[in-house]
Amino acid sequence: MKKRILIVILAALALSFLLTGCAPGHDRFVEQKPANFLWGIWHGWIAPFSLIVGLFNKSVRIYETVNSGWWYDFGYYMAVISGFGGLSLARGKRKKDEH
């Protein structure tokens, strides 16, 4: 049982390092090559992780400021809504089926 807990903790740490490696706020994006629609989707999906890491690392943000504008915003918004809204809709449907 202790071995399983250790594996879960190590997997969670590895996943958090993997996700924050692509977090917004680093020097990856510049004015000549801003974050685009696909990066907006990715940043929307990892926003909860970025928020937690951002509490400890001031360079990590939940939103990339150097972006392509409306398309980045659209991708970010789609990911946030589909990620969290989709989960709540699935939970609601399961509860209705049980009753």
- What confidence score (pLDDT) does residue 54 get? 83
pLDDT 10s digits, 30-88: 888 898 998 888 888 888 888 888 888 888 888 888 898 999 999 999 888 887 655 55
Query: Residue 19 is part of which domain span?
Result: 2-98
Q: How far apart are the first and last CA of the chain?
A: 35
- What confidence score (pLDDT) does residue 98 get? 57
More confident: 3 or 84: 3
Confidence of residue 96 (pLDDT cuts 50, 70, 90): low
Alpha-carbon dihedral of residues 39, 10, 88, 69, nearest 10 degrees? -10
Nearest-5° Cα angle at 44, 42 to 48: 110
Number of domains into which the chain is organized? 1
Whether 67 and 33 have beta carbons less than 8 Å apart is answered as no
Q: Model's pTM, two decimal places?
A: 0.64
Q: What are phi and psi of 30, to 5 degrees?
A: -125, 170
